[in-house]
Amino acid sequence: MMETDPFVLGVIAWGSLAIFLVGALAGTLLLERAYRLALTVFAIATVGGFTFSFLSGFSVGRFTALLPLVVTAFAVTRDRDQRLQLFAQAAAVGIYVLLAWIIPEQVGYWGIQLELPLCLVAYAAAMIKPPPGVVAARGSRRST
């Protein structure tokens, strides 16, 4: 069996964290101008965040797995009803607590293999049905 060099794993892990942090910031800045591009950037950032959580494992992985869920909830509910935003954030925290702390033995890896597809489905749904005020074809905001 071939072993992976710890240095390479470190580069991948820290690179994934950098992708998550830069992507979350860039996505936030792009939301006003290019909605679909912003969601794409957020989706890439989310994959980076979960990759970091998986690779960082038992040290901080269980704790950092919450961040991509919260970012996803923010991104897909931005400019939507505030009750939906609150529900999405609460659901993100609830899913995290359930999978990472209540039933981690049943799902393994703090539920990342369930959380990542759930986040990607949320991004796809937000792209298909953008919030009011977003021009779907061009992805930019309408002027009011």
Residues 6 or more apart whose CB falls under 8 angstroms from that of 33 comprise: 140, 141
Confidence of residue 143 (pLDDT cuts 50, 70, 90): very low
**Residue 1 reports pLDDT greater than 70:** yes
The residue whose two tokens read 């909605």 is 35
74-115: pLDDT as tens digits: 999 999 999 999 999 999 999 999 998 999 889 887 889 999
Q: Looking at residue 135, what is its pLDDT?
A: 61
Measured from the Cβ of residue 10, the count of other Cβ atoms closer than 10 Å reads 11
The one-character DSSP state at 134 is: B
Distance separating alpha carbons of residues 123 and 73, to the nearest angstrom:
9
What is the rounded distance in angstroms from the CA atom of residue 43 to the CA atom of residue 83?
23
Residues 6+ apart with CB under 8 A from 24: 42, 45, 49, 71
Q: Would you say the pTM of this structure is higher than 0.85?
A: yes
Q: What is the tens place of the pLDDT at every residue in 30-83?
A: 998 999 999 999 999 999 999 999 998 877 888 999 999 999 999 999 999 999
Residue 21, pLDDT > 50, answer yes
Counting every residue, how long is the chain?
Answer: 144
Report pLDDT for 105: 87
CA–CA gap between residue 65 and residue 17 (Å, rounded): 11
In angstroms, the CA 122 to CA 39 distance is 10
Spell out the domain ranges in the chain.
Answer: 6-128
